[in-house]
Structure 1
Amino acid sequence: WMDYLTFGRYGTGGWASPDGTINCIEQAYDFESERFLVSLLKHEAQHTVDMKQFPGITPAELEYRAKLVELHYSGIPGLLQKFLSEADESRTGDSHAMASARIKREFTDMNQGSLPCVQARALELLHAHTAEMEEKYGKQKAVPND
């Protein structure tokens, strides 16, 4: 609704429904762009997989994992800086700010200017977090490709 109310200036460009459907505002995207393919599709697909694999996962955990997926697949050098600028641990009710704060902590001691280093670190952190989630929520069966 925010997109509609603000004539497209603000709002969610896309989201994953509980049934796994990925939705988007068509006018908001170039369907060949990285913004669509990575920042929407891969990000929201990760949410869908995680909600099925880890029932009870928190919104901050969902966002953290999806942001790591974006960082791994993105070819945009400034994406990490975008996430770092959104980091704010004082906004505990904002899952995006909390996820970005965790990313900020975990990318502090590395070469943030090297895209291959950022991509590799993101994948390493995603694997480590998957193990953490399996410990916390229990190892679930692999999500089938419906």
Structure 2
Amino acid sequence: MRGQGGAARSTLQSIDPAALDAKDRTFRDCALSRLDVTAPLPPLSEVPAVNSFVRDLLTLYRTYWRASALDGTSRPAAEKRLVAGLGKLLGRPVADVPAAEPLIAARLKAAGLFSQEGRTGVFHDLMIWSRETQQIETVALPEGGNATQVNYLDGFISRGWSSYLSCNRTGTGGWTTGAGLFVIVPSYDSLTDENFRVNFLAHESQHYADKKRFGDIPSWRLEYRAKLVEVAYAETTIGKVLDNFASNQGDDPADPHSYANKRMLKALEDRLGVTSVVELHATPLDRLHAAAVAALTADSAALDAERHPSRKP
């Protein structure tokens, strides 16, 4: 998820496939094939019958994702090749990827498809899907409930770079805009279990509420707050939640998830008087929930003070 494909490839290569079960061997082989810059791109066999524009577009993005993930120093050159390829595919020169994105969206819309462009983490992203349904959901949050429109997206042709490079083992589960929440349906085994209700619906509803309340705040801080909400409500999934956060920690604000994970875990450790995620696992659930709510409340007070300097957090 940090876009460090070279390190991921080395780790996968170091694992003896004979020590893995069939599911994990398949994942290892798939991920290595997508991270092998010397080999041709894997065929678009999983993509449904679509027009040549969509297939050529996906080839351009997948080539860019692989090259950018394998070597951070090559990202500018990979992006330059992507821009050139997009200009040729669109039939007109484009200055950069953001300039091409509205043109891409218009072509996909004309083909009856929905799309999401922009950056996810450190890479330019592209999601394409064919079906949407909407529903109003009311979600309880630590600082007050929130009712919003949830858009359920399905029939995916592309689920973005993180899903592609990890062979759908991980990836974006959805996002939030002023128009509501957007759910990538195939990212979830169930739309009623705790994983969805807490780790997506409450998380993204907190984003929605924060954007209305605080306006434009850094992406990492939005993630920090939403991850505290996950900890505040998770019960049966709490172990998985903590492990997921602990496995992806970083110091680069440009990668808001890993940056927020590290700071959120440290905030919990400090409040609970522990020094490791192992100790967080051993903390009684009610204390963990209370610490997460307290950290969220303190951050809200700090944000209010930043917006209104006369107030003290």
Q: What is the TM-score normalised by the length of structure 1?
A: 0.83
Match of 1:49 in 2: 209
Identify the range of structure 1 (27-36 vs 2-11) with the bigger mean alpha-carbon deviation.
2-11
SS at match of 2:247: helix
SS at match of 1:116: helix
Which amino acid in the other structure matches residue 297 of structure 2?
Answer: H
Match of 1:71 in 2: 231
Show the 5 A alignment for 1:83-98: 83-89=245-251, 91-98=252-259
CA distance in 1, matches of 2:300, 2:207: 13
Show the 5 A alignment for 1:98-109: 98-108=259-269, 109=273
Match of 2:5 in 1: none
Match of 1:143 in 2: none
Tell me which of 6, 14, 17 is aligned to 2:177: 17
CA distance in 1, matches of 2:160, 2:255: 22
CA distance in 2, matches of 1:105, 1:4: 30
Tell me which of 187, 196, 203 is aligned to 1:28: 187
Q: What is the TM-score normalised by the length of structure 2?
A: 0.41
Match of 1:144 in 2: none
Contact (CA 8 Å) 1:3, 1:9: kept in 2 or not? no
Identify the range of structure 1 (93-102 vs 25-34) with the bigger mean alpha-carbon deviation.
25-34
Equivalent pairs counted in the alignment come to 137
Which amino acid in the other structure matches residue 217 of structure 2?
Answer: I
CA distance in 1, matches of 2:263, 2:233: 19
Compare the two structures and name the one with the higher strand fraction.
2
Residues 73 and 56 of structure 1: CA distance in aligned 2, closer, same or farther (over 3 Å)? same
Tell me which of 269, 280, 302 is aligned to 1:132: 302
* Structure 2: gaps (5+ residues): 1-126, 128-157
Cα displacement (A) at 1:104: 2.5
Contact (CA 8 Å) 1:15, 1:23: kept in 2 or not? yes
Which amino acid in the other structure matches residue 254 of structure 2?
Answer: G
Match of 2:222 in 1: 62
Cα displacement (A) at 1:9: 4.2
Cα displacement (A) at 1:11: 3.0
Contact (CA 8 Å) 1:55, 1:137: kept in 2 or not? no
- Does the alignment pair 1:80 with 2:80? no
Cα displacement (A) at 1:84: 2.2
Q: After superposition, what is the alpha-carbon deviation per residue over 1:60-80, rounded to whole angstroms, capped at 9, x for unaligned?
A: 110000000000000123122
Flag the structure with more relative contact order, 1 or 2, with Cα contacts below 8 A and sequence separation at least 6: 1
SS at match of 1:102: helix
Identify the range of structure 1 (106-115 vs 37-46) with the bigger mean alpha-carbon deviation.
106-115
